[in-house]
Amino acid sequence: MKIVVPSNPADAAGLMTAAIRDDNPVVFMFHKGIQGLPWMAKNRRSVGPVPEGEHVVEIGKAAVAREGADVTVVTLSLSVHHALDVAEDLADDGTDVEVIDLRSLVPLDTEAILESVSKTGRLVIVDEDYQSFGLSGEITARIAEHDPSMLKTPIERVANPDVPIPYARPLEYAALPTPARIKEAILKQVNR
């Protein structure tokens, strides 16, 4: 089974085409926060053109959403937009953040993650799931199994705490990986 999680319209179209053509079962997850639903606040990055004609995005191939040299942020879906917003904000202060958009959970593009982390030496994993037993733990394990000495600082994980997600909007936002929490984790990585 494969699992894809696009962050933008072009990837959604390309991954849907790839999923339809794939002989394996593919779970297609598309965050409500980037679907353009009229009652939800939109991030300016979640709206964009879709290439015309044949457009296929390879399942299991991450994308570098933003090049950087100081710290790597690995994430997917709506959190890609949050990470890019934070990266732009921090660039004004001299922190160069690389953002990796995973685009799929299964298969996980470990090579893209390792390549970026070996360049920056710092890693922040942002996942809108529970911190325990999830994507952030799996990525951390893969770094540890490959070469933990590539890290200059311990890995930061920005995920939901292990509590039920509250229904009230202010409490929900307190649990979710918000731009403020992402920024705090990045600044901790670069000791600022």
Q: Look at residue 18 and tell me whether its pLDDT is greater than 80.
A: yes
**Please, which residues bridge with residue 2 across strands?**
26
Q: Are 17 and 71 contained in the same domain?
A: no
Residue 55 lies in a domain: no
Q: Are 7 and 76 contained in the same domain?
A: no
Q: How far apart are CA 155 and CA 92, in angstroms?
A: 24
Q: Are 100 and 147 contained in the same domain?
A: yes
- What number of CA atoms fall less than 13 Å from residue 171's CA on the CB side? 6
Q: What is the CA radius of gyration of the chain?
A: 16
Q: Are 83 and 148 contained in the same domain?
A: yes
pLDDT tens per residue, range 89-145:
999 999 999 999 999 999 999 999 999 999 999 999 999 999 999 999 999 999 999
Q: Are 7 and 40 contained in the same domain?
A: yes
What sign does the dihedral 140-143-147-153 (CA atoms) show? negative
Q: Which two tokens stand for residue 44?
A: 């300016």
Q: Are 116 and 68 contained in the same domain?
A: yes
- What does DSSP say about strands 104-106 and 123-130: parallel, antiparallel, or unpaired? unpaired
Residue with tokens 């009230």: 168
**Please, which residues bridge with residue 106 across strands?**
3
Q: Are 172 and 87 contained in the same domain?
A: yes
Domain residues for the domain of 40 are 2-46
Q: Are 34 and 68 contained in the same domain?
A: no
This prediction has a pTM of 0.94
Question: What's at 140, amino acid-wise?
Answer: T
Q: Are 111 and 151 contained in the same domain?
A: yes
Tally of structural domains, the chain = 2
**Please, which residues bridge with residue 26 across strands?**
2
